[in-house]
């Protein structure tokens, strides 16, 4: 256990933040998976609709420091390209 006051506070903050961070990460991963499922099903309208939510979720996670900026941009770019390459 931490001895210094600031270290004790840091432990409390970590305990409080960890579940929220897991929730945001899980939201991003699930949104990406749902978008890829729509892409595999060749449902372009649904994929584009889900992609908007994916963008928002990725940006939130990036702003909170859970995902690096380049990783967020790469994930959005790859999904966008997959949607563009879909058959109409």
pTM strictly above 0.75: yes
Sorted by where each begins, the domain ranges of the chain are 26-84
Query: Using CA atoms, how far apart are residues 35 and 87, in angstroms rounded to an integer?
Result: 15
- pLDDT for position 83: 94
- pLDDT for position 2: 79
Residue 87 pLDDT class (50, 70, 90 cuts): confident
Q: What are the pLDDT digits (tens) for 9-60?
A: 999 999 999 999 999 999 999 999 999 999 999 999 999 999 999 999 999 9
Q: Please list, in sequence order, all residues whose beta carbon lies within 8 angstroms of the beta carbon of residue 81, skipping any fewer than 6 positions away.
A: none
Residue 88 clears pLDDT 90, i.e. is over it = no
């Amino acid at each position: 256990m931490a001895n210094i006051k600031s270290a004790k506070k840091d432990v409390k903050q970590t305990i409080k933040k960890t579940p929220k961070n897991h929730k945001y990460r899980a939201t991003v991963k699930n949104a990406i998976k749902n978008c890829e499922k729509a892409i595999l099903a060749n449902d372009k309208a649904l994929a584009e609709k889900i992609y908007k939510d994916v963008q928002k979720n990725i940006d939130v996670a990036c702003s909170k420091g859970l995902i690096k900026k380049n990783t967020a941009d790469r994930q959005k770019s790859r999904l966008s390209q997959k949607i563009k390459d879909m058959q109409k």
